[in-house]
Structures are given as structure tokens and as C-alpha cells.
Structure 1
Amino acid sequence: MNVLSTKFKALALFSSIALLTACNQPTKTEKSTNPVTASSASSVVASTKTNETARAGHDMSKMNGMGTASSPTASQPAHVAEYMQSMNTMHEQMMSASHIANPDVAFATGMIAHHQGAIDMAKIQLKYGKDSEMRALAENIIKAQQIEITQMQTWLSKHKDDKAPTNTAMPEMDMKSHDAMMQGIMDSDPDVAFAKGMIPHHQGAIDMANTELKMGKDKEMLQLAKQIKSAQDPEIKQMQAWLDSKKTK
């Protein structure tokens, strides 16, 4: 009886040891559940870097777009692309005028670039537009503003910026006006795009003329500023009335 009891005790001890050993061994299921290999780790790192690079590029593109004119894309209508190129050229030229100290010289320099922008827009309207009223307005803009450009160029040949550039006498075009122009020229209808873009463009010229009337001293440039206001305000009203008739507010 004692011998049998001893055998049972030994068998129980052996079974316990075997069970503990089996519990400490990883199963095939556990091995296949979380495989961590060098290849998968590299893939995770590469994916993370790619996502970080994409985010960085997106952030940089937003920074590069701040305070600058937009760029045309291949998917836009031809008249929109040409309007945007015209806006970019005008924007760059007006930047130089915004740092001139003499208010009269700044007005003439900036308004030449601004008028040239209007002429370029009018030529685009004549190239793509179909509406007779908007085409006639474009022709009038080209004629009137080319005469004023010649006048300002002649005046500038005799007047230089003789003041130290300690401050900005003629501020750069108001960004609200610029943004309104950019939004307006995006219209798929060339005639509507012309009117929607030219209204804020004319308003920008009026704002510049008001600055000249406030800060300028030269009689000829002051008179020109008044002339610009009296000419462009009625044209703004004309274009707005035309847009209202087309129900394209």
C-alpha cells in the first residue's frame, strides 16, 4: 500500500512539472498573431516618413501662397489663365511702387502699372468676350488709360523720388480688392469674368487716387487723380448694372 501511494505521488509530481513546462512555451497561434520582423518595421518607418513629408509639403505650399498672386492651371478656361497672368504681372510691378517715399512719384509709378493691368484685361475681353456692351467698354478703357499712362510717364521723366524711403507713401493695392479681382475673373463666361474682375480693379484705382488726393502735392498728379475717380466710378456702376441684368451677382 505504501509502495502504491509512493508511485501515485511520483506520477502526480511528474504531471505537474510537465504541465508547468507546457504553459511556459509559446504556441504556434501566439507566434503568428504578432509577427514583428525587420521588413515590417522598415515599412512602418517608411510610411511614417512619407506621411510627414506630405504634411510638410502641404504646409509649405500654404505658406508660399500667402501674400502672392495665384498661378494659372492647365484645367482653367483660356481667358481665366490669361487674366491670372495679367494679375501676376501687375502685382509684381506695383510692389516696386509701394516702397517709393514721394507720394506723387509713388502714385504715378503705381498707377501706370495699374492702368497697364486694366489695358491687358481689356485686350483679353476683346479676344474672348462676345457681349457688345462689354467689348465697347473694353475699347474705351484701352484708349483712355493709354493716354493717362503716357501722361504719367512724361511726368515721371521730370520728377524723381528725392526723399529717403523711410515709410510707404503709396500703399500696395488693398488685398481685399486683389482677392475680389481674383475671384471675379474665375467666371467661366468671359464677359462676366471681365466685368466681375474690372469692378474691383477700378475700385482699386479710385482708392489709389484718394490716397494721392490725401498725401500728394503735385498739381498735375492731383488733377489726374480727380480725373481717374470721375471716369472710373461711372464705369463701375455701368458694369454692376450689366451684371444685375445678367443675374450674375
Structure 2
Amino acid sequence: MTMQGSSRYVMTLFLASAAAFSTYNAIAQDAGSNVAVAAPVQSAAETAYLAENDAAMTKMMDDMSIKPSGDIDRDFVTMMTPHHQGAIDMAVAVLKFGKNEQIRRIAQEIIVEQQQEIIAMKLAIGDPLPASVAAPTQEAALNGTMQGMAPNMKM
């Protein structure tokens, strides 16, 4: 992973952690008292985003729990693949629901970079490559529709 890619990855993890902390903080009690912290009003989009992000993080953590094979390199790839896929899934959620164009661009780059790293790790241990699919970085791919495509474009 490049230093720039690493920074983007850290930013994605930071944003995901901040969202998770915000959700936790909304239901946690204020330290030292029995008064619950008031939850901010969430839009339907934010609720959907948080649900998708939580599902991605839960899947990532579950999939990273492996039985050691005796091959350190293979175990590393087996654990890192869902870790990278989790970053992809979180970035897809930001693309679906986020509005900030800078964050959306970073999310697009994270998707491409993480897919490339999964491929590089699998090649390094001689595993077959995952199926070749387009990176889900465009509206049409995210929504499963033709929305946002020029009338003469074909899928």
C-alpha cells in the first residue's frame, strides 16, 4: 500500500470509527450520571448508511476470525482479504449516501486500491484471482440502474 493509499485507508477507518462512536454515544449514558445522552435526529439516509456500515464492519470482523493453517503467509492473506473488502464495503456505503465530493473521490480511490491489494496478495500466495467485476464507484453500479448514464451508453 502506498503512503497516499495508507492515508486514505486510515481516513476511511477514522470515518467509520467516528460513525460507530457517534451511534454508541447516542445511546450511552453520560459519565457519572443516569442521564442518557440525547441522540441527534437522523435522516433516513444516515440511518441506512449507518446500518450498511455496521453490517460491513461486522462481516469484516467475523470473516477475519480464521483457524490458523500453519502457513503464516496464507493466514495473513486470509485475514487481510476481508479487512480490505470491509474497507471497500464501507467506501461503497459512503458513495451511496455521502454528499461531500472530496470524500466520495477518496472512497472511489479506496475501492480501486483495496481491490488491487486483494489481487496482489492472492497472486503472491498462488491463489486464483477473484472474478473480474467493475469497481462499484459509479451511480449506476451503486444503484443497479441506468441512472447517471448517457442515453447511448450500454451496460
TM-score (norm 1): 0.33
The equivalent of 2:70 in structure 1 is 188
Per-residue deviation, 1:237: 1.1
**Is there any run of 5+ residues in structure 2 with no aligned partner, and where?**
15-21, 23-39, 129-155
Per-residue deviation, 1:196: 1.0
User: Letter of the aligned partner of 1:218 in structure 2?
Assistant: N
The percent identity for this pair of structures is 28
Question: Taking structure 1 as reference, are residues 145 and 164 closer, same or farther at Cα in structure 2, changes over 3 Å only?
Answer: farther
The equivalent of 1:212 in structure 2 is 94
Give the length in aligned residue pairs: 98
**Is there any run of 5+ residues in structure 1 with no aligned partner, and where?**
1-139, 154-160
Relative to total residues, which structure has the larger helix share, 1 or 2?
Answer: 1
Give CA-to-partner distance per residue, 1:10-61, whole Å, 9 cap, x none. xxxxxxxxxxxxxxxxxxxxxxxxxxxxxxxxxxxxxxxxxxxxxxxxxxxx
The equivalent of 2:117 in structure 1 is 235
Give CA-to-partner distance per residue, 1:216-248, whole Å, 9 cap, x none. 1011110110010111111111112223359xx
User: Letter of the aligned partner of 1:178 in structure 2?
Assistant: M
CA distance in 1, matches of 2:89, 2:124: 23
CA distance in 1, matches of 2:57, 2:119: 20
Q: Tell me the secondary structure at the aligned position of residue 66 of structure 2.
A: helix
TM-score (norm 2): 0.50
CA distance in 1, matches of 2:90, 2:41: 21
Per-residue deviation, 1:180: 2.0
Question: Taking structure 1 as reference, are residues 196 and 144 closer, same or farther at Cα in structure 2, changes over 3 Å only?
Answer: farther
Question: Taking structure 1 as reference, are residues 212 and 150 closer, same or farther at Cα in structure 2, changes over 3 Å only?
Answer: closer
Please, which of 49, 58, 75 is the counterpart of residue 169 of structure 1? 49
CA distance in 2, matches of 1:152, 1:175: 14
CA distance in 1, matches of 2:12, 2:108: 14
Contact 2:12-2:87 at 8 Å conserved across structures: no
